[in-house]
Structures are given as C-alpha cells and as structure tokens.
C-alpha cells in the first residue's frame, strides 16, 4: 500500500478504500516530564487539598501533628513540596485501617530521619487487629443479646393491651445482657469501630 505524505497540508494520504485518515498537527507537542521536573513542583494548600480529597484544615492539622511540612513564601502564603501528595495519601490510607495520627507521627519521624520503622509498623498493625477482633466478639455478643431481648419484648407486647405499659426497659436483666456493667454499652462499642477520625 502506497502512502503519500503532503507536508504542506500536514496530512498523510492513504487509499480511499483504507477508510482511515490521520491528520498531523504540527503544533501539538507532548513533553515528557521526568522526576527532575517534578522535584520543582509545589502546591498551594487549596491545590493539594483538591488533589488529595481533604480539606485545607486537615492539611494544617497534619502539619501541627508533624506529619506534613510546608514552607512560607515571602508573600506569607504556604506551599507544599511535590512529595506531599504521596504523604497525604499515605496518611489517609493508614488512618483507614486504624492507625492514629500520633502513631503516624512516630513512624514518619523515623522515616524522615532515614530510619526503617517497618517492624514498628507491623507491631502496631498487629495490635490493631487484636483490638478489632475483640471488638467484633463484643459486637457479636451484643447483637445476640439484643435479638433475644427483642424476642422477649415481642412476647410481652402480644400479651399487653395498647394502652397498658409493657415495662420493656424494666424487663431487662443484667445477667440476660451478658453481665451488666461488665458489658460495654452499644454506643461505646460503635464509637470504637471508628478508631481515630480525621479532623475535617
């Protein structure tokens, strides 16, 4: 197949039955940006917040905790270095699996000083898993207690007139709910599921 190039028009001509025409755009240039170029990139708080999906208040909170660093420009504005994107995403991912900001402050301080806190990270994650498994056992027991309680309440309501008190709350026994004060209340258990919340 013969292909003719019309340099003046910037067009590659192919036979009509080929069904495809590619037009060259002389002014369209793709520039390769290497790591050296990225090293000079910096971001204003609003830019970094949009890219990483957090608020500028959260970024400032990370700075106060020592997790993130910015520099002050002569005009008083702050800017973050190019690697701040990866740092913020690392923080968010770690928070999602139960690490706290204070935990991360310890870890990142070691990393930033050139250390390798891998075993410390592993030990912390192991402790988080043990805490989660305990929480799951407590929640499962509480779920079973509530199911049994609701069955009892259903029986009481079936035998009680609409205008008569069924004394549902009074019917609860400490033993029936797994040990009374030894049991954590449901609100406390559910709060523990959130571990450490980001400040928004």
Give Cα separations from 9 to 2, 16, 30, 118, 144 (angstroms). Answer: 18, 18, 21, 60, 78
Decide which of 92, 118, 144 is a domain's last residue: 118
Rama region for 195: left / alpha / beta (φ>0; ψ in -120 to 50; rest): left
Task: Provide the β-strand partners of residue 71.
Answer: 79
Give the residue numbers spanning the domain of 92: 42-118
Give Cα separations from 151 to 135, 156, 176 (angstroms). Answer: 24, 9, 13
**Residue 183 belongs to some domain of the structure:** yes
Cα–Cα–Cα angle for 193, 194, 198, nearest 5°? 170
Q: What token pair was written down for 40?
A: 């000079």
**Residue 131 belongs to some domain of the structure:** no
Give the model's pLDDT for residue 51.
94
pLDDT tens readout for residues 97-132: 999 999 999 999 999 999 999 999 999 999 999 999
C-alpha span between 142 and 185 (Å, rounded)? 9
Task: Provide the β-strand partners of residue 138.
Answer: none
| pLDDT < 50: residue spans in the chain | 2-3, 5-37, 179-182, 195-200
Q: What's this model's pTM, rounded to 2 decimal places?
A: 0.62
Give the model's pLDDT for residue 76.
84
Q: Are residues 145 and 80 in the same domain?
A: no
Q: For the domain that residue 94 is a member of, what is the CATH number?
A: 1.10.1660.10
**Residue 145 belongs to some domain of the structure:** yes
Give the model's pLDDT for residue 183.
52
Q: Are residues 84 and 113 in the same domain?
A: yes
C-alpha span between 30 and 37 (Å, rounded)? 15
**Residue 123 belongs to some domain of the structure:** no
Q: Are residues 104 and 47 in the same domain?
A: yes
Q: What token pair was written down for 25?
A: 């755009």
**Residue 35 belongs to some domain of the structure:** no
Q: What is the DSSP letter of 16?
A: G
**Residue 8 belongs to some domain of the structure:** no
Residue 58 C-alpha from the chain's centroid: 13
DSSP three-state, residue 174: coil
**Residue 36 belongs to some domain of the structure:** no
Give the model's pLDDT for residue 39.
57
Strands 22-23 and 4-6: unpaired
Q: Are residues 140 and 86 in the same domain?
A: no
**Do 63 and 160 contact (CB within 8 A), yes or no?**
no
**Residue 101 belongs to some domain of the structure:** yes
How many distinct structural domains can be found in the chain? 2
Q: Are residues 47 and 113 in the same domain?
A: yes
Give the model's pLDDT for residue 151.
93
């Amino acid at each position: 197949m013969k292909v003719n190039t019309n340099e003046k028009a910037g067009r590659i001509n192919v036979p009509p039955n080929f069904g495809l025409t590619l037009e060259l755009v002389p002014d369209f240039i793709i520039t390769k940006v290497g790591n050296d170029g990225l090293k000079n990139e910096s971001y204003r708080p609003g830019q970094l917040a949009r890219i990483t999906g957090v608020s500028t208040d959260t970024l400032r909170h990370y700075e106060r905790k020592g997790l993130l660093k910015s520099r002050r420009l002569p005009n008083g504005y702050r800017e973050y270095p190019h690697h701040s994107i990866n740092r913020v995403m690392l923080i968010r991912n770690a928070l999602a699996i139960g690490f706290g900001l204070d935990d991360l402050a310890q870890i990142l301080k070691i990393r930033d000083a050139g250390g390798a806190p891998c075993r410390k990270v592993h030990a912390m994650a192991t402790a988080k898993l043990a805490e989660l498994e305990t929480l799951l056992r407590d929640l499962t027991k509480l779920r079973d207690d509530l199911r049994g309680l609701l069955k009892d309440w259903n029986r009481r309501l079936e035998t009680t007139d609409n205008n008569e008190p069924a004394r549902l709350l009074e019917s609860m026994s400490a033993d029936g709910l797994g040990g009374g004060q030894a049991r954590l209340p449901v609100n406390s258990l559910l709060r523990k599921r959130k571990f450490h919340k980001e400040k928004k």
